[in-house]
Structure 1
């Protein structure tokens, strides 16, 4: 029997007593529905290790990830990545050291992986969290990072604000970075999300990216629906569109796909199966099927670690 998000992430339920239809009862119902949306979003983002969640985790952990990509018209590729984050003792949980290494700075097979690879190059650095709670997060990171085969200094403030509005949550995230090789860049993201019943979670995302060394801007929209199958399995459906404004305003690629992520054997081991169909402009928007497979191990003090 399909488990519900209320059971998996355990969320508070409204007490039967206390005057449900009184003003106090209505306020309490509103607060509990709002809390359900926030906590369910956090649980699902943690399960997928979504950047929305991962960038704000200031704890000690290691993440090992192996990806396999296959797409019509492209040679199959693999990518091994190791990420380490170490919370520095005696800093009141504000400072952390991070090290990341990517086997390939940018893979050719990327139509089915709409996540930007801007932050996935090899790097080592420090993060400082000035604020970090459910409603607000502000951090500054400094690192040595590889871009276009060259290493340089990279500094990036990151700010996130969450507004709870009953059944809906709205989250705004802003990142401003400077790299000594590629200069300034910005990433602005807006998420609007809600629960649909007990085991469905819906999110709409809009993102705008700008880089000083690149002409124009890129922006994207995504609709995602995540379905909880059981305590160890989640199915995610997505429709993604990416646009650019230079050299002309155009749709770069549209992608529809699904991802099954499952925890198996051990609490800290996961695999993903993600078939998709892309419609890229460099192939005259012809349907281009592909597949991404992922094996992942998480070690640390987080919910899915040891």
Structure 2
């Protein structure tokens, strides 16, 4: 049922504009699809939570989960077949005092998706990152968390992370995160990221993102830098313009690819449904840094309760 309904999301790309009154009346199949997927998510959540329930422990809080499903087509010159499905399911378990989440996703990090073109750099990113993990925090909302699970080509792994954020002034903010992990075959790894944000106006801000990964399997560092401008035109429309660069430390510290893009994101038809249109230009070392022009089209839905 879920798989069938996921593909229906693509039909939303042809619905670019409706009034607030029409949103409540038109396209009832969207509400049916949303209810079916949300019900499937929450049924799975209740099963997980009941598995950990104790007879002497009773909670009035209901288990809940949320799913994020995105489909995209990102054709560019020299590669018209790039399709980028992505999903993430997170389950909160009150029978474990809300300190443990179950996370199922096809990517094993929690970096914001607007840091990079979502899937345009797959030759640099490692594929097959589907992971299923238990995430534990000492207290709900704690910056320190730990994960154990299966990921990256079915490897058992353990990971610890810490994140924090600061307001340096009324307009400047700093966020950072660091983590260390161990995969059964890939070995040890670590990463560190930080983001400097500057609020230019009430409707726009700049972000300077930096991310460094150490990979024990290849004994090198992968680094990513980006500069973005985020502009919010209304409650339902936003634009992200950015310049991105990434590379490796071996065989020497060098750039592997550049990217410039302009991403328009719109909330349409329902509060849980979004689509994106993103023209971009990509330069890659394995293509002799010859410009490759592309247009990414994506649709994204949020299901369940947060």
What TM-score do you get using the length of structure 2 for normalisation? 0.70
Match of 2:165 in 1: 162
Alignment of 1:165-204 (within 5 A): 165-166=168-169, 167-204=171-208
Match of 1:129 in 2: 137
* SS class of match (1:71): coil
What TM-score do you get using the length of structure 1 for normalisation? 0.70
Match of 2:211 in 1: 207
Which runs of 4 or more aligned residues in structure 1 lie more than 4 Å from their structure 2 counterparts after TM superposition? 116-120
* SS class of match (1:76): coil
Deviation of residue 118 (structure 1)?
5.6
Change (3 A) 1:137 1:131: farther
Alpha carbons 1:257, 1:277 under 8 Å: kept: yes
Match of 2:73 in 1: 68
Runs of at least 5 residues in structure 1 that lack an aligned partner in the other structure: 1-57, 103-108
Q: 2: CA distance between counterparts of 1:208 and 1:101?
A: 21
Alpha carbons 1:67, 1:293 under 8 Å: kept: yes
- Equivalences, count: 234
Match of 1:276 in 2: 280
More strand by share: 1
Alpha carbons 1:99, 1:125 under 8 Å: kept: yes
Q: C-alpha root-mean-square deviation of aligned residues, in Å? A: 2.5
Q: 1: CA distance between counterparts of 2:83 and 2:95?
A: 39
2:248 equivalent among 244, 250, 256:
244
Alpha carbons 1:171, 1:190 under 8 Å: kept: yes
Alpha carbons 1:70, 1:291 under 8 Å: kept: yes
Deviation of residue 204 (structure 1)?
0.4
Runs of at least 5 residues in structure 2 that lack an aligned partner in the other structure: 1-62, 108-116
Per-residue CA deviation, residues 130-161 of structure 1 (Å, 9 max, x unaligned), is: 3565xx611111111133xxx11111111012
Change (3 A) 1:295 1:86: same
1:77 equivalent among 79, 82, 95:
82
Match of 2:234 in 1: 230
Alpha carbons 1:216, 1:244 under 8 Å: kept: yes
